[in-house]
Amino acid sequence: MTYLMNTYNRFPITLVRGEGVWVFDTNEKAYLDFTAGVAVNVLGHAHPKLVTALKDQLEKLIHCSNLFWNKPQIELAELLSKHTLKGKVFFANSGAEANEAAIKIARKYGRMRNEKKVKILAAHNSFHGRTMGALTATGQPKYQEKFKPLVGGFDYFEFNNVEDLRSKMSDEVCAVFLEPIQGESGIIPATKEFLEEARKLCDEYDALLVFDEVQCGMGRTGKLFAYQRYGVEPDVLTVAKGLGGGVPIGAVVVNDRADVLEPGDHGSTFGGNPLACRAGVVVMEEITREEFLREVEEKGEHLMRRLKELKETYPQKIKDVRGMGLMVGVQFVEGVNNREMANKCLEEGLLLVPAGNNTLRFLPPLVVSWGEVDLAVNLFEKAIRN
Ligand X SMILES: *Cc1c(COP(=O)(O)O)cnc(C)c1O
Please give the size of the binding site for ligand X, defined by CB under 6 A: 15
Smallest gap from residue 353 Cβ to ligand X (A): 10
User: Contact with ligand X (CB under 6 A): which of 33, 212, 235, 286?
Assistant: 212
User: Contact with ligand X (CB under 6 A): which of 20, 72, 110, 129?
Assistant: 129
Nearer to ligand X, 179 or 372 (CB): 179
Stretch that binds ligand X, among 72-80, 93-101, 141-149, 284-292 (CB under 6 A): 93-101
Mark residues 169-198: x for contact with ligand X by CB under 6 A, - for none: ----------x---xx--------------
Contact 336, 20 (CB under 8 A): no
d(CA 92, CA 100): 9
The 10 Å Cβ neighbour count of residue 290 is: 7
Contact 177, 165 (CB under 8 A): no
Contact 219, 162 (CB under 8 A): no
Smallest gap from residue 91 Cβ to ligand X (A): 13
CA angle in degrees (0–180, nearest 5) for 214-216-222: 135
As a residue count, the chain comes to 386
Nearer to ligand X, 144 or 375 (CB): 144
Instruction: Determine if 365 is a binding residue for ligand X (CB under 6 A).
Output: no
Contact 187, 177 (CB under 8 A): no
User: Contact with ligand X (CB under 6 A): which of 35, 57, 185, 215?
Assistant: 215
The 10 Å Cβ neighbour count of residue 285 is: 14
Stretch that binds ligand X, among 18-26, 110-118, 194-202, 209-217 (CB under 6 A): 209-217
Nearer to ligand X, 93 or 255 (CB): 93
User: Contact with ligand X (CB under 6 A): which of 34, 127, 227, 362?
Assistant: 127
Smallest gap from residue 184 Cβ to ligand X (A): 6
Which residues are bridge partners to 322 per DSSP?
329
Question: Quick one: which of 300, 330, 338, 355 has its CA closest to 183?
Answer: 355
Helix then strand count (H, E) for the chain reads 13, 17
Smallest gap from residue 179 Cβ to ligand X (A): 5
Radius of gyration of the chain (CA): 21
Stretch that binds ligand X, among 73-81, 90-98, 198-206, 326-334 (CB under 6 A): 90-98
Instruction: Determine if 140 is a binding residue for ligand X (CB under 6 A).
Output: no
Instruction: Determine if 96 is a binding residue for ligand X (CB under 6 A).
Output: yes
Nearer to ligand X, 138 or 338 (CB): 138
Contact 22, 33 (CB under 8 A): yes
- Give the dihedral sign, CA 300/303/305/308: negative
Interacting positions 233-262 with ligand X (CB under 6 A): 240-241
d(CA 181, CA 186): 9
Contact 104, 260 (CB under 8 A): no
Stretch that binds ligand X, among 9-17, 94-102, 164-172, 296-304 (CB under 6 A): 94-102
Binding residues (CB under 6 A) for ligand X: these are 94-96, 99, 127-129, 179, 183-184, 212, 214-215, 240-241
